[in-house]
Amino acid sequence: MGRAFEYRRASKEKRWDKMSKLFPKLAKAITLAAKEGGTDPEGNAKLRAAILNAKAQNLPKDNIEAAIKRASGKDTELSEVIYEAKAQFGVMMIIECATDNATRTIANIKSYCNKHNAQVIPNGSLEFMFNRKAIFQINHLGHNLDDIELELIDYGLESLQNQDDGVFLYANYKDFGNLSSALKNLNIEVLHSGLQYIPTSPIDLDENQVAEIEKLLDKIEDDDDVQNVYTNIN
């Protein structure tokens, strides 16, 4: 599961090579988290994570503060919406959006899909094909992973994977706050965290198929309202 998380993030960052696209998406994630759980990062694990991830991408402090402030504004209509879609070669997608106009957003998503032999399907259709997980990436250095695993089991930790570029911790998405607080109490620095959809039965595509699917993913992920796209591609 760790590799899927890394590759989706790396692929997305490669496509978002212009800060004019990346920064607004990071700011929207902060605003949504603040609307959902309050504007105090100390008591809102999801907001802490959004701020941490934004800082890792060099989002300026003023932008972060403005995004938090926007959450308490009366004119803020930003909301999270999720769409599901199926494409060629058995590819399934979960598309997370942050939008102030859901009618516009779904019209755009349908347009991209129609042009690339894909279609939006009813929400809930892919429920059995993905597991939603809380994922935390920490540094290898200075930690006894066996001790960490034992400490965090009571806080929802399901598995721990030691990869080349970090240690990845996995839990049910409902335990995101518990695990985040536990890591903070243990003074373990989190490099990146978030909620991810992990495919239960990932599929393999050849190079030509991947290239074709990437055309669709590029269009979807380039949309200002789209925050994340998850697929069942291995």
- Kindly report, residue by residue over 55-98, the tens digit of the pLDDT: 988 999 999 999 999 998 776 789 999 999 999 999 999 999 99
In this structure, how many other beta carbons lie within 10 angstroms of the beta carbon of residue 212? 16
- Own/partner contacts of 215-218, CB < 8 Å, gap of 24 or more, are 215/116, 216/87, 216/112, 216/113, 216/116, 216/118, 217/11, 217/15, 218/15
The whole-model pTM stands at 0.86
**Domains in the chain with CATH codes:** 2-71 (1.10.10.200), 79-128+200-231 (3.30.70.980), 129-199 (3.30.70.980)
pLDDT tier, 105 (very low <50, low <70, confident <90, very high otherwise): very high
Alpha helix ranges (H) inside the chain: 2-15, 19-37, 45-56, 61-71, 102-115, 145-152, 176-185, 207-221
Task: Give the per-residue pLDDT at 77.
Answer: 85
